[in-house]
Chain A
Amino acid sequence: MRKKIGEGYRALFGDSPRAFGTLGVLLLACLAVVPAKDHFREWSGYQSGYLKYIANRGDAATLKRRFEGGIHQDWLPELGVVDRCGTCHVALKEAVLAGTGPQPFRGHPVIPHNLERYGCVLCHGGQGVATTVEEAHRSSKAWEQPILPARYVEAGCGQCHQNTMTGTPELNQGRTLLAEYGCVRCHTVNVPGGGRMAASDHPPSLEHIAGKTTREWMYAWLKNPQAYAVSATMPNFQLSDDDARDITAFLVAQSTALEVAQGPAETGAAAAESGEGSSLYGESFCASCHAMQNAAGLLVGGNVGPELTRVGTKVKPEWLKAWLWNPGQWSPTTVMPHYRFDGKQIGLLARYLGSQTDSDFLAKVSLPPATAEQVAHGKKLVNERGCGSCHEMNGVKKPDNFAPDLSNVGSRSLEKIVFAPGVQEDLPSYLAAKIQHPHRFGPATKMPQFSLTAPQVDALVTALLAETDRAAGLPAALRVPGKVESDYQPAGPAGKLIADLRCFSCHAFNGRGGDMAPDLSIEGSAVQRGWLVSFLKNPNTLRPALIRRMPRFNLTDGEAQTLADYILTVYQTPAFEAGPLSAAGFTADQREHGRQLFYSKYACQACHIVDPKNDKGYVGPTLTQAGTRLNAAWIVHYLKDPQKMRPGNLEPNQHISDEDARDLAAFLMAQTKGGAQEARK
């Protein structure tokens, strides 16, 4: 045996030429690995797997014909993107495989974008150039952006889209939360294309806080804001008892008195029935903005203003009355309207709200008088905790860039992140953990504890993941800007009234304002003066199915007329002249023809009521008083293209001819019953 081995060795390596030759052959054999590895690349296995997968399908021939082997690549030179995902995900464009079957053979769900034009990594992240599973999906030292987990995929949309879209609820909610919870007051988030994200919360100024509430309440609130109001957006700073005490000492010390005009004297409120305050609260639609917990513990009401469940425990009665009389005196930036309540109404509301108390809230709070050291320590804490980022206080400067800039947080390198123990080492998990439990990241973390639900955290993470380097560097042509609030300000006495009544809180005019109530930018073209004046004085709802309506602001005749005249003059559409058509110009034939069109051809009664006895339409506004409310010219133009006059309107565009529209207007202008009733009132 040994002899044989010896012989073999000699035969192969016996002398220099043999050794040289043998080694050369061995080297060539080793080099053969190179083309072999090239041939058996990972993706070729997936491509043959796909052919096997479709082989048993009925449409195998069609799918096979459309299949093309080899590396598939999308190149987007203006974005510097090269995507080879289609090399393994071979069926992305096959509609019949959309959303079904195993990956990577699934088709892409239908989206508004062309896959070839936008590629994959623009939305999904990951390493597009890679042709191996590991390299394409996960992050490594050679590629820091892993694929975006499916639950955060809307972050991909948010890179280009700053606007609100119906298809991205998670992203929309996340951005709303960033604004509502005041995240962007401490953190800068630059919006690609200029500007920065703005907060939409209304943290009150604390410059006169001692006039509004007690030190005990401040203490209990600071310790746990959510114990006072479950919907409070102020985070819990997890202050120690002493720290909370010292901050209240400072807040009271820095507070200055505010001279405010007193409202009318309280008359007759004391003698009122016990339910009247609650009724007035309802009639004034306070609940449109303010929430209260009902007996079942559920929040009922809007989230524009603070929750009022325990407001009686918080505010001082004098403050409450002064506020109810004219909130703008206390806070010039408040969105709450000046309701012009009379003395009795203020008394009723103040008594009703004052009775909303919770004796447990302040039960255990007893604070000794503040010392100078406590005040000084409180001021130091206020500066350390960044209270000034949200609240104005005397002697406290608003800090600049109090918290880290989050403009490019979606591209943050994992190398630069310090993970808390137990946090999965990827960016979404880090962001979620940081939002949910900031204090897991060490005692030095200044970020307070927010009360957010798990879906809210996911939404916030989605919104933050959209803030990537790529988003910041997108070509302008791809960027879809968000809604930009104009700084429109109406002029003159009517402008003053509009500001005083805070019309912008609910209505939008010329691109500024809220969306709780209709946009009034062209309302002057739609309505008649008489109706508008009476509506402003005594608002009613136009739709039978709608209980909510505009609150009554106790306007004087003069104020209502000033407003009505301004609206009719200024808020006109450029699309048509209001003048030429008038009710008197219509003939009886036109009216009759219009009636037939209304009931037969266009079946308007499905949504509208003209004859209260027989019509059952509850969706659209009641039209019994259309003749006194609306302009004839408006009706004609509105019917011809409802969405042009009122974007987003439900009314279908039935492509009504000029003649039909005119006859329908003739019919509707004859409907003056409601108006007559209104006039009699």
Chain B
Amino acid sequence: MAATKQDTLGRLRETRVWQSVFRSGWGDSNLHRALAVQQNLFLHLFPAKMRRRSLDIGVTWYLGTLTLVAFFILVATGIPLMLYYHPSVPQAYADMKDLQFVVSAGVFLRNLHRWAAHAMVLLVFAHMARVFYRGAYRPPREFNWVVGVVLLLVTLFLSYTGYLLPWDQLAFWAITVGSNILSSVPVMGLKIRFLMLGGNTVNANALLRFYVLHCVILPLAAVAFIGVHFWRIRKDGGLYRDGHAAARAAESGEQRHG
């Protein structure tokens, strides 16, 4: 039975379709493993080799990965939610009601999106605290810390823009208060608020702007910076180094070569 399975797989690997997708060939040599990672768009963010130790839960608590999982859940639930939602003043709240009362699994979708959003904000903060207390922001990772801060802001803006979309009292007043806080920025506060809301009060324009920000601009920005973030982890020497190696590397400037 086992032999047959091997044969079937073997024949499959010889097909032209398989070879056009997995171009690096099959084998468990270092070369094959490295090629498998490098030649794949999704896997090439990962190092071809890493220390087993760095996968221990105690090293990272998986906080970055969990954040990424929360982001995937948000994308996966957000897209179906977009199918039921109109960013217009008369319709937005009614759409919430439809999700609640008639859409199949509408409540589940909406709640999952909401809780995943809360979880993502929490995880991002926890991740940042872990990085800070472990000193993982130190050179050579200082640039990735900055990218992380940008991602933190993107996450918070995603959360804030999503808050308005249900178009209920809570949403309206939260955004009103938030935008008023923004307007106290010296000199150009009112201009910033006008730009953000598309007017002086929270209204149809603000709803549309927040919708576009929430569903297009900020998710694209998040994806781009997440890519940079992961790529930098690899370039900065992976998730884990022992202290001495890191110190040596810092001294010799070796880390530049990753």
- For window 63-100 of B, CB contacts with A under 8 Å fall at 90, 94, 97-98, 100
CB-CB under 8 A from B97, the residues of chain A are: 127, 129-130
Instruction: Report which residue of B94, B101, B104, B168 has the largest number of chain A beta carbons within 10 angstroms of its beta carbon.
Output: B101
CB-CB under 8 A from B105, the residues of chain A are: 34-35, 38
Instruction: Report which residue of B97, B98, B104, B168 has the largest number of chain A beta carbons within 10 angstroms of its beta carbon.
Output: B97
B108 & A34 in contact (Cβ 8 Å cutoff): yes
CB-CB under 8 A from B216, the residues of chain A are: none
Residue A135 at the chain B interface, CB threshold 8 Å:
yes
Q: How far is the CA of A54 from the CA of B53 in the complex (A)?
A: 70
Q: How far is the CA of A132 from the CA of B100 in the complex (A)?
A: 10
Least Cβ distance of B43 to chain A in Å? Answer: 19
Partner of A132, one of B98, B101, B108, B168: B101
Q: How far is the CA of A71 from the CA of B97 in the complex (A)?
A: 14
- For window 348-384 of A, CB contacts with B under 8 Å fall at none
Residue B102 at the chain A interface, CB threshold 8 Å:
yes
B101 & A80 in contact (Cβ 8 Å cutoff): no
CB-CB under 8 A from A34, the residues of chain B are: 105, 108
A135 & B101 in contact (Cβ 8 Å cutoff): yes
CB-CB under 8 A from B104, the residues of chain A are: 35, 38
Least Cβ distance of A76 to chain B in Å? Answer: 13
CB-CB under 8 A from A35, the residues of chain B are: 104-105
Closest to A16 in B: B55
Q: How far is the CA of A131 from the CA of B101 in the complex (A)?
A: 6
A interface bracket (residues with beta carbon within 8 Å of B): 10 to 19
Q: How far is the CA of A132 from the CA of B101 in the complex (A)?
A: 8
Closest to B103 in A: A38
B102 & A131 in contact (Cβ 8 Å cutoff): yes
- For window 31-52 of B, CB contacts with A under 8 Å fall at none
Residue A137 at the chain B interface, CB threshold 8 Å:
no
Q: How far is the CA of A444 from the CA of B90 in the complex (A)?
A: 40
State whether A129 and B94 are in contact (beta carbons under 8 Å apart), knowing that A38-B104, A38-B105 are contacts in the complex.
yes
Least Cβ distance of A570 to chain B in Å? Answer: 53
Q: How far is the CA of A34 from the CA of B80 in the complex (A)?
A: 15
Residue A150 at the chain B interface, CB threshold 8 Å:
no
Q: How far is the CA of A80 from the CA of B102 in the complex (A)?
A: 17
B interface bracket (residues with beta carbon within 8 Å of A): 10 to 19
State whether A129 and B101 are in contact (beta carbons under 8 Å apart), knowing that A80-B90, A82-B94 are contacts in the complex.
yes
Cβ contacts A285-329/B at 8 Å (1 or 0 each): 000000000000000000000000000000000000000000000
Q: How far is the CA of A34 from the CA of B97 in the complex (A)?
A: 18
CB-CB under 8 A from A261, the residues of chain B are: none
B101 & A130 in contact (Cβ 8 Å cutoff): yes
Q: How far is the CA of A621 from the CA of B145 in the complex (A)?
A: 101
Residue A84 at the chain B interface, CB threshold 8 Å:
yes
Least Cβ distance of A427 to chain B in Å? Answer: 18
Residue A418 at the chain B interface, CB threshold 8 Å:
no
CB-CB under 8 A from A37, the residues of chain B are: 108
Q: How far is the CA of A145 from the CA of B94 in the complex (A)?
A: 15
Q: How far is the CA of A14 from the CA of B94 in the complex (A)?
A: 49
- For window 125-143 of A, CB contacts with B under 8 Å fall at 127, 129-132, 135, 141-142
CB-CB under 8 A from B94, the residues of chain A are: 80, 82, 129
Q: How far is the CA of A532 from the CA of B98 in the complex (A)?
A: 70
CB-CB under 8 A from A142, the residues of chain B are: 168
Closest to B112 in A: A34
CB-CB under 8 A from B102, the residues of chain A are: 71, 84, 129, 131
Cβ contacts A60-89/B at 8 Å (1 or 0 each): 000000000001000000001010100000
Q: How far is the CA of A135 from the CA of B96 in the complex (A)?
A: 14
Q: How far is the CA of A174 from the CA of B21 in the complex (A)?
A: 80
Q: How far is the CA of A132 from the CA of B104 in the complex (A)?
A: 15
CB-CB under 8 A from A130, the residues of chain B are: 97, 100-101
CB-CB under 8 A from B101, the residues of chain A are: 84, 129-132, 135
Q: How far is the CA of A82 from the CA of B100 in the complex (A)?
A: 14
CB-CB under 8 A from A132, the residues of chain B are: 101
Q: How far is the CA of A80 from the CA of B92 in the complex (A)?
A: 12
Q: How far is the CA of A82 from the CA of B96 in the complex (A)?
A: 13
A129 & B90 in contact (Cβ 8 Å cutoff): no
Closest to B102 in A: A71
Closest to A144 in B: B169
Q: Which 7 A-B pairs have the closest CB atoms?
A: A129-B97, A131-B101, A34-B108, A34-B105, A38-B104, A130-B101, A129-B101
Besides the known contacts A35-B105, A132-B101, 17 further A-B residue pairs in the complex with CB atoms under 8 A apart: A34-B105, A34-B108, A35-B104, A37-B108, A38-B105, A71-B102, A80-B90, A80-B94, A82-B94, A129-B94, A129-B98, A130-B100, A130-B101, A131-B101, A131-B102, A135-B101, A141-B169
- B residues contacting A by CB (< 8 A) are 90, 94, 97-98, 100-102, 104-105, 108, 168-169
Could you give 20 example pairs across A and B, Cβ below 8 Å? Answer: A34-B105, A35-B104, A35-B105, A37-B108, A38-B104, A38-B105, A80-B90, A80-B94, A82-B94, A84-B101, A129-B101, A129-B102, A130-B97, A130-B100, A130-B101, A131-B101, A131-B102, A135-B100, A141-B169, A142-B168
